[in-house]
Amino acid sequence: MEPDDRDVLTATAAIAVALVLLALGAGCGAGGEHAAASTTTSPANASLGALLVGRLYGNGRCVWVGGPKDGAQVAWPSRYRALTGPTRIETRGGRVLAREGDWLRIGGGFDPATKADPSCPHAGEKGKWLPGKIEFLGRHRPPEVRKP
């Protein structure tokens, strides 16, 4: 193969790669919706393949998901606010999504590197629950939870 032929092949390959990247980029921006940036990251020592199912509780200082006396502190994404007095989860716009005693199903896992509030009840876990998908179920007991 002559040196000029190699230059033509290299230029052709570069153009082909550029066109593929351009097509991929155009396809990603065609929808009318924008994904919100995540406010939590998944550290290497966090396991996010678990499921937390429990009720929302609070004690005036903090909010947790679990039982009335202890549970998991959740590192709520920035689009939510965990409030006490009365205990509730709201959107940033003030819409109430859950009240004390409501059921939640939250995918994710504990991150021991996310510092939990030591004055809050906890179920023996270190760190906070890093949520993935969050389902607000209201007063409806999820089918995977047995009645006492």
H or E element that contains 76: none
pLDDT in tens, the chain (148 residues): 554 544 433 444 434 433 333 333 333 333 332 222 223 444 444 456 789 999 999 998 899 999 999 899 999 999 999 999 999 999 999 999 999 999 999 999 999 999 898 888 877 778 999 999 999 999 999 988 887 6
Q: E strands within 5-127?
A: 50-58, 63-66, 71-72, 80-83, 88-91, 96-99, 103-111
Class of the CATH-defined domain 50-138 = mainly beta
**Cα separation of 126 and 116, whole Å?**
7
| Structure tokens belonging to residue 145 | 């939870």
**pLDDT of 126:** 82
**pLDDT of 47:** 52
**pLDDT of 17:** 39
pTM listed for this prediction: 0.65
